[in-house]
Structures are given as C-alpha cells and as structure tokens.
C-alpha cells in the first residue's frame, strides 16, 4: 500500500487530497484500488498514514516516491566544548529590501535592461545592492564596499562575493543604471498602479533643492540659487517631483540650481504627459509655481489645475473676506468660500484657518517687536553720539533690520533725515501704519486657491490642495531617511545616477509603507526596518568526531536557515501590535544546505538567524550528537491586499 494524491482548485485556492491505495492484479492488468480517502493531510498526517499502510501489509521498509528525499536525519558526534559562533551579520532588513525589490519586479526589469555579459558580477545585482543599501543604511559607495556590504547577508541573497564588491564597480553600476531612468519610471507607473489600484487622476507637483559638498567644477547643473536647505554658501541642483494623491512617485526631473520654480511647470507637465499619456488629470501646485504665463498656458491647452494663488490675490477679495455669509466648515477650525472669477473661466476658493490666524498673528507681533526694539536702539545711538555718523552705514543697518523681519517690514514708515542740531548729524523718525494693521486683521490666516475645475465642491478642492503635504513628506524622507543630501559626487552623470538611486529607494519605502498600513503595522517604514534588523544571520561552527576523540576529522555543512518571526525566534511583537512579519504576509526563506567533505581538522558550519530556536536537537542515542536540518525552500512575494488605499 502507498499514498496517492489529487489536486483540485476551489475558489482560487489549490487543495491536495490524499488517499490510501493498493495494487491489485485483475487478469492481465494491475490496477490501483482505493482503500481509504484521507482528505487533506499535513506532513505528520502523511507519515502516520504511511506507517498505517506498513502495519497493514506487514512491511518494515518504507516505499518513497521517486524524487522524494530521504527523511533519515544525518547524525554526527561533535565537540561541544569547541562550538563557536562566527560571522554574525544583519539579515532581516536587507531581506525585506530584496523582497520589496522583487515584489515590484525590478529584478526582472533591471535584468532585462542590463542583460548579463562578460562582466564578473551582473550589473542588475549591483543595481539592487545600491538601492537596498540606500533603503537600509544610506552611505557612500566607498562605505558600502568597505564596511556595510560585508556586515549584511546580501552576499547569500544576491550571490555576490564580498571580494567582488568595490567602489569602482559600484560607480560603474551607477553609470549603467542611469540611461534606463525613463524605462524604470514607466514600469513603476504601471506596477504601482496595479498593486495599489492607482488612478493617477490627481498629480501633485513641487520643487526642492539639494546642495553639494565640493567645488563641482565639472557639473553644469551645479549653481547657486534659493536654497531650501538654508545653505546659500553651497552650489545646488533643483529636484522636481511628481507624486500621486497617496504620495507614490510618478517621476522626477533635475534642473540647474538657479532655475526658478515658475519656469519648470510647462516642461514638467509636457514631459509627464508624453511619458504617461494625456489623461484628464488635475495638476496641483503651490503658489510658487503660479504666474500669469503658466495659468494662460494651462487654460489654452485645456488642462485642469488647482493652484495656490499669490498673497496679492487676497486684496481682490477683501469684501468677500469681511462678509460672514456662505462660509463652509471643511474641518474643525477651517472654513472655505467659493467665489467666481472674472469671466467665469476660473473659480477662486477663499480659505481661513483658526490655527493659521493665531500663528501669523504671533509672527507679526514677534517681528514688529524686533523692529521696534532695533529702531529704538538706533534712535538712542544717534541721539547720544558725540561725533558725526556716516549716513550710508545707518541705511544699511536699517535695511538689515527690515530684511531679517520681512513679515512686518511694511508696518513701519521710517525716515532718516539730516539734523545739524545733533552731534551725529542725523535724526531718525518712525511711525506705525494703521492701514497695515487693519489689513493684517482681515488677512491673517487667509489664503486663496484658484482652479478651473467646476465639478468639485469647495471641500473637495481644499482637501485636494492640502495633499501637497505628500510631496513635502517625500522631500523630507529622501533628504533625511534616504540621505539624498549632501551630494558628494562631482560628475554630472554620477549626480543624476545618485538621485535615481534615491528615487528607487523612495519607491521601496512607499511600497513598504502601503503594505504596513494594510497589515495594521503603522505607517513608519523605518520602525519596521529597525525591528527586522534585529534578525541576524550567523555561522555556528560545530567541530566533529569522525575518527575518534583524539583524531578529529569532519565535513563542512554550510546551511542558511532563515525563519519567520515566531515565539522564541527574533524580536517579539510589542503589546497590542500585530506580528511584524506574519501580519504583513512576509515569509522569509527557509533552510538551504550544501554539504561537501573536507580535509582533516575541518568543522561543520551552520548558518541561521540569531536569536535562534533549537532547530538542531541533540540525539538521544549518544551524548553530543546533532541531527540534521530540514529541507530547503524559498517563498514567493506576498500578494498585496485587495482594495484601494484610503
């Protein structure tokens, strides 16, 4: 008797049913006769069924399938006093990065874009190494080659030896990856849309800057301009990023460091539509992108937009701001009012926020107090001076005072005149403009949006504009968590490739964030990476006795045992939180084993995560004996949960 199984699919799931059969000769034929239907069995159930068949037939030897491995465990005697731990390396976070890389099918796409040739190490593997390193522990290419790579288990995951990873090969991998930027963006556009049911009906656009360390003499894009990093002393480049309403990136472009934001709108909109089609999207931009030329171009081309208007637009709507009618509450402390623009081509949304009123009022009071204090000090200096004072130096001092407190500079009328009656020769007079105070009382906490979208409510328009915080969060993550800045590369192509690697790492970051939210693990990928980083890979060296205690010989059994988070394995989930791996659906690969006889004096090496469970139990047959591990197996990428993110 022996076991047979049949496979059936029900409701998209595959079921395996087992039955106990026996061979019966009927005439000239041998047929299989079913003895019992056993249903679905696990490994223990199948073993029990085989033992039952052996007892029924009286056979002692077990009949195995043709390609079924032997279930007999190898047993060897080891020297317990010489067991040691070697090569403890980080495993959890790099395996998570590799899983994200494969889940987005970047391993396949990059492998097709960079097919293997005569190189010693595939360029696709080096590209994956660069992006995973940027996600897990951002560092320079030199630091990756000399320190980081050898401290991780990527050698086993990617199959690239530590000796083959050096800074020159990493730099050349940057050069190989850069020409495929557009192809990678196109693939990620379709893949992210498939995984997370994205419509890309609302695109958020903004510009930031990142600065260099060094002279950057060979980079034409490195220029001095308005620095968002507060580093006007350094040259920089401008990074323009387009993301979806969920914050998932669509594409980016790099401009010279002195490029003005308003000059990038037409280029970015045309480029994105050329790559991804002329769909009826709504472009959302802040007031830094607004100019009369840009608005006219968007209207003439029939594109829909939602823009933040300049503060000068508030004065056109003073009467509407004073009128307390038709205000709609969209959130606690936030009100909006819809107003039709001249000619009906545009709609303006007046917004006012209680928190923003308090904030701007406090800012105006603080800046006004600074200006008043500075003017009083300067007035006393001129009054008590004993010798003439240069007028130009006083003008510069007043200019610096107003420049440092620009938000309240228009509140004061300042007059510096000659006065021969004083030793200084100058007299300072200043007063407060009451008109400025009246307008500040009306406009504090208010801002204006302009749009040509006519089928949305004021609440929908306001909520769509507030989602620009997704772009600001993307810049913050790339600069802080992924170490986009400062840029140390000097060549223009290497700078572009560095930004591309950061962009790909950000895609992995947002993918992890989306899956973590669906699994109930929060919305902080860095916390997940830190928790999984506690799962490590190590080598357990087990010296063996094969020729007796005095003559130690043995073989080296090199194993990789990577287990999911369970009780007694890896860090435990915090109270009130789901298991960070099983809840997310990630299944780390299990044991992979290679055995080879070695020369005398060798040892048995076992690689597994730390902390570990008792996978290698001592055999009860003899003291110090260890049984062999289980079979190998690699898991696939977990399918994303259905449904669109909210």
Which tens digits make up the pLDDT trace of 556-565? 444 444 443 3
Rounded to a whole number of angstroms, the distance between the first and last alpha carbons of the chain is: 56
How does pLDDT run across 289-328, given as a tens digit for each residue? 999 999 999 999 889 999 999 888 888 899 999 998 889 9
Bond preceding residue 146 cis, omega within 30 of 0: no
Confidence check: pLDDT of 372 > 70: yes
Whole-structure pTM value? 0.74
Average pLDDT, the chain: 81
**Directed axis angle between helix 492-518 and helix 181-196, to 10°?**
10
Confidence check: pLDDT of 576 > 60: no
**Average confidence (pLDDT) over 506-535:** 89
How does pLDDT run across 443-494, given as a tens digit for each residue? 999 999 999 998 899 999 999 999 998 999 999 999 998 999 899 998 999 9
Which residues, in sequence order, are CB contacts of 205 under 8 Å at separation 6+? 240, 241, 242, 265, 268, 269, 283, 284, 285, 289, 471
Q: How many CB atoms lie within 10 A of CB 44?
A: 8
Say which residue, 151 or 577, is predicted with more confidence: 151
Q: How far apart are CA 328 and CA 570, in angstroms?
A: 52
Q: How many CB atoms lie within 10 A of CB 240?
A: 22
How does pLDDT run across 73-120, given as a tens digit for each residue? 666 777 778 778 788 888 889 999 999 999 999 999 999 999 998 899
**Average confidence (pLDDT) over 165-175:** 95
Say which residue, 500 or 547, is predicted with more confidence: 500
The percentage of residues in the chain with a pLDDT greater than 90, rounded to a whole number, is 51
**Directed axis angle between helix 167-177 and helix 123-136, to 10°?**
100
* HEC string for 294-359: HHHHHHHCCCEEEEECCHHHHHHHHHHHHCCCCCEEEECCEEEEEEECHHHCCEEEEEEEHHHHHH
DSSP states along 240-284: EEEE-TTS-EEEEEEEETT--GGGGHHHHHHHHHHHH-----EEE
Residue pair 306/283 in contact by the 8 Å Cβ criterion: yes
85 - beta bridge partners? 540
Q: How far apart are CA 221 and CA 236, in angstroms?
A: 8
**Average confidence (pLDDT) over 186-215:** 92
Q: Where are the domains of the chain?
A: 2-57, 76-87+535-627, 312-326+338-454
Q: How far apart are CA 405 and CA 391, in angstroms?
A: 22
Residue pair 437/413 in contact by the 8 Å Cβ criterion: no
Confidence check: pLDDT of 132 > 70: yes
Six-digit token pair at 583? 């809840």
**Average confidence (pLDDT) over 606-624:** 35
Helix (H) or strand (E) holding 509: helix 492-518
Nearest in space to 496 (alpha carbons), one of 487, 505, 508: 487
Q: How far apart are CA 178 and CA 184, in angstroms?
A: 10
Residue pair 238/225 in contact by the 8 Å Cβ criterion: yes
């Amino acid at each position: 008797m022996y076991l047979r199984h049949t496979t059936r699919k029900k409701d998209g799931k595959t079921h395996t049913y087992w039955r106990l059969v026996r061979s019966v000769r009927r005439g000239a034929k041998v047929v299989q006769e079913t003895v019992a239907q056993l249903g679905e069995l696990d490994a223990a159930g199948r073993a029990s069924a085989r033992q039952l068949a052996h007892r029924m037939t009286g056979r002692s030897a077990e009949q195995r399938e043709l390609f079924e491995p032997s279930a007999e465990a190898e047993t060897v005697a080891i020297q317990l006093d010489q067991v040691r731990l070697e090569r403890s390396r980080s495993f959890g976070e790099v395996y998570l990065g590799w899983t994200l890389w494969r889940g987005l099918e970047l391993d396949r796409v990059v492998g097709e874009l960079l097919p293997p040739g005569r190189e010693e190490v595939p360029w696709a593997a080096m590209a994956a190494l660069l992006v995973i390193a940027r996600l897990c522990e951002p560092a320079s290419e030199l630091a990756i080659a000399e320190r980081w790579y050898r401290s991780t288990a990527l050698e086993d995951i990617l199959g690239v030896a530590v000796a083959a990873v050096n800074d020159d090969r990493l730099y050349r991998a940057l050069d190989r990856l850069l020409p495929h930027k557009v192809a990678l963006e196109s693939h990620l556009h379709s893949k992210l849309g498939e995984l997370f049911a994205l419509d890309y009906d609302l695109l958020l656009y903004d510009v930031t800057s990142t600065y260099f360390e060094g002279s950057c003499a060979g980079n034409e894009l490195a220029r001095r301009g308005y620095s968002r990093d507060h580093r006007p002393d350094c040259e920089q480049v401008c990074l323009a990023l387009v993301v979806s309403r969920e914050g998932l990136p669509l594409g980016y472009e790099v401009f010279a460091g002195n490029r003005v934001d308003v000059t990038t709108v037409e280029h970015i909109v045309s480029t994105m539509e050329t790559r991804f089609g002329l769909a009826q999207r709504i472009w959302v931009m802040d007031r830094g992108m607004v100019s009369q030329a840009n608005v006219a171009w968007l209207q003439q081309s029939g594109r829909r937009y939602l823009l933040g208007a300049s503060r000068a637009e508030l004065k056109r709507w003073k009467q509407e701001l004073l009128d307390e009618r038709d205000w709609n509450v969209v959130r606690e402390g936030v009100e909006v009012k819809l107003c039709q623009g001249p000619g009906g081509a545009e709609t303006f949304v007046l917004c006012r926020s209680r928190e923003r009123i308090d904030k701007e009022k406090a800012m105006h009071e603080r800046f006004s107090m600074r200006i008043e204090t500075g003017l009083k000090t300067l007035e006393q200096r001129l009054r008590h001076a004993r010798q003439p004072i240069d007028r130009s130096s006083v003008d510069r001092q007043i200019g610096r005072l107003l420049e440092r407190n620009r938000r309240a500079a228009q509140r004061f009328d300042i007059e510096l005149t000659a006065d021969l009656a004083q030793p200084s020769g100058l007299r300072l007079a200043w007063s407060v403009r009451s008109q400025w105070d009246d307008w500040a009382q009306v406009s504090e906490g208010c801002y204006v949006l302009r749009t040509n979208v006519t089928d949305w409510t004021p609440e929908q328009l306001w909520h769509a504009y507030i989602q620009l915080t997704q772009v600001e969060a993307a810049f913050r993550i790339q600069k802080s968590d992924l170490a986009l800045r400062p840029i140390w590369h000097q060549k223009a192509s290497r700078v572009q490739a560095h930004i591309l690697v950061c962009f790909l790492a950000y895609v992995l970051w947002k993918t992890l964030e989306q899956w973590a939210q669906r699994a109930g693990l929060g919305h902080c990928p860095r916390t997940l990476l830190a928790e999984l980083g506690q799962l490590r890979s190590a080598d357990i060296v087990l010296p063996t006795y094969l020729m007796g205690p005095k003559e130690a010989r043995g073989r080296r059994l090199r194993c990789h045992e990577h287990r999911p988070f369970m009780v007694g394995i890896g860090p435990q989930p915090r109270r009130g939180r789901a298991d960070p791996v099983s809840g997310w659906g990630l299944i780390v690969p299990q044991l992979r084993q290679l055995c080879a006889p070695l020369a005398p004096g060798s040892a048995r090496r076992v690689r597994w995560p730390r902390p570990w469970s008792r996978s290698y139990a001592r055999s009860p047959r003899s003291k110090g004996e260890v049984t062999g591990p289980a079979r190998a197996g690699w898991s696939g990428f977990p399918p994303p949960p259905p449904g669109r993110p909210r």
